[in-house]
Amino acid sequence: MEYKSNITKALLGVLLLYIGSVTANAQVKEFGEVNPEEFSAYPEEYDSTSSAVLLFARGDVSFDSEYTGYITYHKRIKIITDEGLENGNVEVVLRKDYDQDVKQIKAATYHLLENGEIEKFEMDNDQILESDYNEDVRLSKFTLPALKAGAIIEYSYRKRFGNPFMLPDWTFHDFIPVMWSEYELELPLALNYRLIFRGDSLDQNEVRKSGFSGDEVQNLYLVKKDLPPVEDLPFLINRDDHISEVKTQLIGTRIPGNIPRNFFKSWDDIAKEVNNRDDFGRQRLNGTMKDKVHELVNDEMDDLKKIEILYDFVSQEINWDGHYGVVSEQGIRDAYKNKSGTIADINLMLVEMLKEAGVKASPGLVSTRSNGTILFDYPLVGQFNVTLAVVELEQTAFALDASLGKRSYLFSHPRNLYRNAFVVREDDSYGWLLTLPLDDTIERTFMSYTLSDSGRVEVTMMGRLKGAFAVSVRSKAEELFPEKYWEERLSDLEELEVDSASFGSFEDLNEPLTYETHFSYKINDGLSSNESVIYLQPFLFLKDEENPFKKPTRKFPVEFSYPYSEQFRIQVQIPDGYEVDEMPEQVQFALPNNGGYYRFNLSARGNIISAMSQLDIKGVSYSPDEYEAIKKVFQLKVDAENSMLVLKKVNSSD
């Protein structure tokens, strides 16, 4: 299928605000004005699907004459189940270095009585607790009183966020459904902000100016309503990539009596800036490191060979200390000497070694999957959390991460894949590279076994693995003998005995991994029999037990770490005197838009039964409209692999 990246699906542009285009219909909620209708003022479906509902959320931003910023938060939430009680625990994070504080805290809980009256429980201010989280942050915490399922809770507070650079972003979505969320900003025209909107369109927005010359302000009013919860769903790599939010960037000031200042940076500016940093673009090899490069490679090698050798050297000789980062913390020379460094230390070292070998290499800044999708219209280095090495050859370009240890460069860690790398070249130019795996992820497994009267089964299993599947097995088996690996992997099998095992091409990380193993165990699942009939699930322990997609509908995409193909072939020799009485039908189902397929077939010839199950997932992101098909393809796989084969004894009394 056509690649549908998170970035493509969440195209982010500068928010186009305009005067009088939409009449704002603010849902003004005064604190304490709760009416009985609000206890059911949400779709009935949420009573069975949600722990709570955010009835109303408002953020109100303003500045004083000294350009110190404040934001007032006001939220009203209906608690549906006991799991929703956690919404009554509120925590305000305050930065010490910006002298942030919180005041005007109000909190109350409302119960709807049988007579239709509302009972109100107000929080006392002595229930507000303040504590230091660390040397940079302190917390202000409170818990609303009289919490119970069915109640409405409400709280508000005013936070001084401090200087104009600290203007908070506003997130419209939540982990629970949101009925109404509004954000109003009163921004002095002396402060030039750039607002960037992530997500689909706003339900309301309005801009208006007020005040007089020198004190003019711009009022922005933004609304979204009827938003589903954004949950941490299976196969949703980063929920933050799918929320609607407004991000702000101070790009300049024109404060009376002060020189106008411009803080806006383009990607061009950032490329030049990082290239001039001692801890990034000015990192260089010393003589010892250069000598090592020329010891390992020579001019007779092509670029791919040089890349493979130098990547293997750095990834296996320099240990990752577990820290991310985009700049070198200790410098690549000390990292080489200490044989340890951050992800930036290691990959900036690899870049310089590749350049010394004559390969066109540059650092590439990446935001990993857990860190979230890059906003292209928001040029900030702070969006990235790792630096990779990028090579540009005549026909291709790709990213390398030498912090991963003993691993093929052909398949990087999934955290780095399908991300947009900001490639900063030596001449201060830049480009964007979509990080793709250089190898397919494929599993081909063949298993044969013979059924015996004892219920014990002798199994031969052979396989060929590529891409992520090969990386996974190599990493788990690296410190184990082959037999021990299979003993651990198959430890759930009753009375397991591994007779022999071997791996092929284990040390050649860039080649497919092959294996063969012979073992026996006592079947306690997938087989039952009496004197005349045997019921068999041919895939035994290889079968999928359940569908990972359980929800009837889904409002967010299904995301896979990478495309993959998985095929199991089974050959079973049945006992003498039995024949196939019933067998499942073959299955063939294709996902829309050439997104993949599932195939299953089973056949019998004499006393040999052959079965095949194959799932191909060709994309990495499938839209909510494709969810039903994705759910179906996995259910077909579960049903087929758990289907029952009936063997009947020849000439039985039946």
Identify the band that residue 555 occupies on the pLDDT scale cut at 50, 70 and 90.
Answer: confident
Which of 524, 527, 522, 523 lies closest to 537, judged by CA? 527
Give the pLDDT confidence score for residue 198 in this predicted structure: 87
Q: Residue 148 has what DSSP assignment?
A: -
For the stretch 57-108, pLDDT in tens is 999 999 999 999 999 999 999 999 999 999 999 999 999 999 899 999 999 9
Confidence label for 376 from pLDDT (cuts 50, 70 and 90): very high
Confidence at residue 528, expressed as pLDDT on a 0 to 100 scale: 72
Mean pLDDT of 175-181: 96
Q: How far apart are CA 165 and CA 208, in angstroms?
A: 22
Statement: residue 29 has pLDDT above 60: yes
Residue 217 has pLDDT above 90, yes or no: no
> What pLDDT shows up at residue 534?
86
pLDDT surpasses 60 at 6:
no
d(CA 403, CA 401): 6
Question: Which band of pLDDT confidence, cut at 50, 70 and 90, is reported for residue 203?
Answer: confident
Question: Given this model, what pLDDT does residue 282 score?
Answer: 96
Three-state DSSP at 164 gives helix
Whole-Å CA distances, 437 to 139, 178, 408, 434: 43, 38, 11, 10
Q: What is the pLDDT of residue 16?
A: 38
pLDDT digits (tens, 9 = 90+) for 425-460: 999 999 999 999 999 999 999 999 998 766 789 999
All residues at 6 or more sequence positions from 13 whose CB lies less than 8 Å from its CB, including other chains: 196, 197, 377
Cα 357 from Cα 296, distance rounded (Å): 9
Residues 307 and 409: beta-carbon distance below 8 Å: yes
Query: So what's the pLDDT on residue 289?
Result: 98
Mean pLDDT, rounded, for 255-282: 93
Q: What is the DSSP pairing of strand 564-573 with strand 442-450?
A: parallel
Average pLDDT over residues 157-177: 95
Protein fold of 442-649:
Jelly Rolls (2.60.120)
Q: Span 167-174, mean pLDDT?
A: 95
* Cα–Cα distance, 568 to 611 (Å, whole number): 8
Task: Calculate mean pLDDT across residues 348-376.
Answer: 96
- What is the Cα–Cα distance from 163 to 510, expressed in whole angstroms? 52
645 vs 79, residue with greater confidence: 79
Q: Which residue has the higher pLDDT, 22 or 103?
A: 103
What was the pLDDT predicted at 9? 34
pLDDT greater than 80 at residue 191: yes
Q: What is the mean pLDDT of residues 519-548?
A: 86
**Average pLDDT score over residue span 374-386:** 92
Task: Collapse the DSSP code of 155 into the 3-class scheme (helix H, G, I; strand E, B; otherwise coil) and give the result.
Answer: strand
Q: What's the pLDDT score for residue 23? A: 38
Residue 487 pLDDT:
96
pLDDT of residue 311: 98
Mean pLDDT of the 344-368 span: 98
Q: Specify the CATH architecture of the domain 13-25+43-262.
A: Sandwich (2.60)
Q: Is the pLDDT of residue 589 over 90?
A: yes
pLDDT value for 232: 84
- Tell whether the model's pLDDT for residue 1 goes beyond 70: no
pLDDT at 543 exceeding the cut of 50: yes
**Is 50 exceeded by the pLDDT of residue 630?**
yes
* Interval 43-57: pLDDT, tens: 999 999 899 999 999
pLDDT at 150 exceeding the cut of 60: yes
- The pLDDT assigned to 3 comes to 30
Q: What is the pLDDT of residue 201?
A: 83
As a whole number, the mean pLDDT across the chain is 91
Percent of the chain surpassing pLDDT 70: 93
| Domain ranges (residues) in the chain | 13-25+43-262, 268-434, 442-649
The tokens for 283 are 């990192």
Q: Where does 268-434 sit in CATH, by number?
A: 3.10.620.30
Q: How do residues 103-122 score in pLDDT, each as one tens digit?
A: 999 999 999 999 999 999 99
Buried b (16+ CB within 10 A) or exposed e, 113-123: eeeeeeeeeeb
The per-residue pLDDT for 527 is 73
CA 548 to CA 234: how far, in whole Å?
7
Per DSSP, 376 falls in state T
> Does the pLDDT of residue 266 top 60, yes or no?
yes
pLDDT beyond 50 at 17: no
Beta-carbon contacts of residue 414 (< 8 Å; ≥ 6 apart): 369, 468, 561, 562
Residue 329 pLDDT exceeds 60: yes
Residue 535: pLDDT band (50, 70, 90) is confident
Q: In 3D, which of 102, 71, 295 has the Cα closest to residue 184?
A: 71
pLDDT at 586 over 60: yes
Residue 437 backbone phi and psi in degrees, to 5? -65, 145
d(CA 91, CA 82): 19
- 9-13, 198-202, 218-222, 477-481: the lowest-pLDDT one: 9-13
